[in-house]
Amino acid sequence: MPSATALRLQIEHTLENRFPAALSPVPRTIREVAATGIAEVDRLLDGGLPVGAISEITGLESSGRTSLALAFVAGRTQEGRVCAWVDAGDSFDPESAAASGVRLKQLLWVRCRGVESGAKPWARLDQALRAADLLVQAGGFAALVLDLGSVAPEQGCRIPLATWFRFRQAADRTRCSLLVLGQAPFAQSSAAVVVECAALLSRAEAGTVLNGFTYEVRSGRQRQPAPITGPRMPPASTWTATSPWERERSA
């Protein structure tokens, strides 16, 4: 009885004219990443968030997911690159973004609003998905943030898998870093990286101003992890962010 190796070689020899190396694995390549600007997060993710792929940043309100996305977009815009922010909940604050280092002239802000008062949540979600589809397919954006933080998990889970697959293909083709912010992961297997955020503590100043937020960041999944070139990092890390207004005052 032929061995498994001999059988494999026989099959490949038979199929080599039509399917070269039919059973040979595709060589692994080092993925391209872009730094988030937060040293602790970059170490956790082996350099940063992937380019040309979907990254999900999940967590509850005030968990640090928006601060992490703003830090990433700030770095991209400061490099002179154009980014986009699709805001499903119409909650994006340009002043806070500018104080966090985002160059607003390099940022396209898409605000999703209900057609009429009392519009169903799915209406805004549908607007956000359509806008994100147009932008990621068009290309030219170094980063595109699809902010679904205000979308209930049961609504986000209704997004068809075909939509995420389409986004993944377009992001790869246009070399766009697509960041999806949500209370839970929605893209499933189409996401290359899932980052889970949680708030740990904050410091109050004068009894009324909150500052010095400390967050926990955990790598939930990496579909294609980068090669390990140094000591393996722990599955979670913490980072402290001062208020953008405090940074502006002390500058």
Give the start-to-end residue ranges of the domains of the chain. Answer: 27-250
Q: CA-to-CA distance for 67 and 82, rounded, in angstroms?
A: 19
| Dist. CA 145–CA 66, nearest whole Å | 10
What pLDDT is attached to residue 217?
79
Task: Note whether 215 and 225 are within 8 A (CB).
Answer: no
| Dihedral sign computed on CA atoms, order 122, 127, 130, 136 | negative
The pTM for the full model equals 0.76
Residues in the chain where the model's pLDDT stays below 70? 1-2, 12, 15-29, 114-121, 201-213, 220-251
The conformation of residue 190, written as its DSSP 8-state character, comes to G
Q: What is the distance between the alpha carbons of residues 198 and 133, in angstroms, rounded to a whole number? A: 29
d(Cα 103, Cα 75) in Å, to the nearest integer?
A: 9
Q: Which CATH architecture has domain 27-250?
A: 3-Layer(aba) Sandwich (3.40)
Q: What is the pLDDT of residue 224?
A: 53
Where are the strands (E) in the chain, listed by range? 33-34, 49-50, 53-58, 83-87, 107-111, 143-148, 177-182, 191-205, 209-222, 236-241
What pLDDT does 2 receive?
A: 63
Q: Both tokens of residue 9? A: 């070689």
- Our CA dihedral for 150, 154, 157, 159, rounded to 10 degrees, sits at -70
List, in order, residues 6 or more apart from 207 with CB less than 8 Å away: none
Task: Judge whether 52 and 250 are in contact, CB under 8 Å.
Answer: no
Burial class (CB in 10 A: 0-12, 13-18, 19+), 212: middle
For the segment 141-159, what is each residue's pLDDT rounded down to a tens digit?
999 999 999 999 999 999 9
> Nearest 5 degrees, angle CA 187-CA 58-CA 135?
55
Residue of 196, 166, 176, 173 whose CA lies nearest to 56: 196
The answer to whether 126 touches 114, Cβ cutoff 8 Å, is no
Query: Crossing angle of helices 161-174/121-138, nearest 10°?
Result: 30
